Amino acid sequence: MKSIKLIKGCDLTFNNAIQEGQYVLLYLDKKRKWLVKILKDAKIHTHVGYVTLNTLIGKSYGSSIESSLGVTLWALKPTIEDYALKAERKTQVVYPKDMGMIAVKTGVSSGSIVVEAGTGSGVLCMFLANLVRPNGHVYSYEIRKEFLELAKKNLEKAGLSKYVTLKEADARKGLDVVNADVAIIDVGDPWSLVKPMYNALKGGGMLAAICPTMNQVEKLVEELKANNFIDIESMEVIVRGLEARMGMTRPVTRMIAHTAYLTFARKTQPSDKG
């Protein structure tokens, strides 16, 4: 193999070794993956035998490991999607396809200030927190204490707690945030959050709402129009798998038909006299 001349900035001293205390995605096949914490004495039991996790310490992510029954599994570094899909949940959570569209439409990225109403299980919160790192922050409101505790647990697992402030409060009564770049609404009565979110956003700030039903979208959009939001856009994101096999390629047989509609809008400042 030819020697590699590295471009400036690409790290040759990079350490990709699995360390004690880290999480690993143990991969058997597409349908069987486990998110496990690497502890000295941890074993995981699967239907292909048990796996002794400490033998992974010091090995590179991407390495294989054999189960007690001689089956090969792979130790992968969990992505934010893995943490999201493996999160404990008590509610319907936001799907990756919808999180991706929220990222691209709102532009949430490093340094963003995000305010969210409806923490739920914290899955969208976790995704947003990962994007705003290291200088941004997510403020997330939830009225149900048991969800906040669940969200806290999920955020800690993903190592993202410090980028999030969870608050047990009714967001409809007003938010302790101003000048937010992005506002997220994920509650059953999204229209009741329009005014509080208007106040929390900076001028030109982006609002995104997640609504399972068409009726919610209808009422939300009316309220957005009445409250100085513009560029209002609603949509659904649909993902269809493709089974690619040489000479037999075709879409998958079954799919998720619907999760939620997404609505986006931008805050204007009509009273601003410059």
Residues 49-68 that bind its own copies (CB under 8 A): 55, 58-64
Question: Closest CB to its own copies among 5 and 145?
Answer: 5
Q: Write the interaction track for its own copies spanning residues 165-204; mark x where CB under 8 A is met and - where it is not.
A: x-x------x-xxxxx------------------x--xxx
**Interface segment toward its own copies; rule CB under 8 A; list 41-49, 143-151, 266-274:** 266-274
Which one among 36, 93, 99, 207 touches its own copies, defined by CB under 8 A? 99
How many residues bind to its own copies according to rule CB under 8 A?
Answer: 114
Which one among 19, 43, 111, 168 touches its own copies, defined by CB under 8 A? 111
Tokens of residue 218, six digits: 């209808």
CA distance 72 to 51: 10
Question: Closest CB to its own copies among 47 and 274?
Answer: 274
CA distance 169 to 140: 9
Q: Classify 174 in phi/psi space as left (phi over 0), alpha (psi -120 to 50) or beta.
A: left
Q: What is the DSSP letter of 172?
A: G
34 near its own copies (CB under 8 A):
no
CA distance 157 to 32: 20
109 near its own copies (CB under 8 A):
yes
101 near its own copies (CB under 8 A):
yes
Which one among 37, 170, 212, 226 touches its own copies, defined by CB under 8 A? 212
Q: In the block, which residue shows the tokens 């994007």?
A: 131
Question: Closest CB to its own copies among 145 and 215?
Answer: 215
Distances (CA, A) of 139 to 56, 154, 180, 200: 36, 16, 9, 11
DSSP-assigned letters across all residues of 111-159: T-EEEEE--TTSHHHHHHHHHHTTT-EEEEEES-HHHHHHHHHHHHHTT
Binders of its own copies in range 63-92 (CB under 8 A):
63-64, 74-77, 79-81
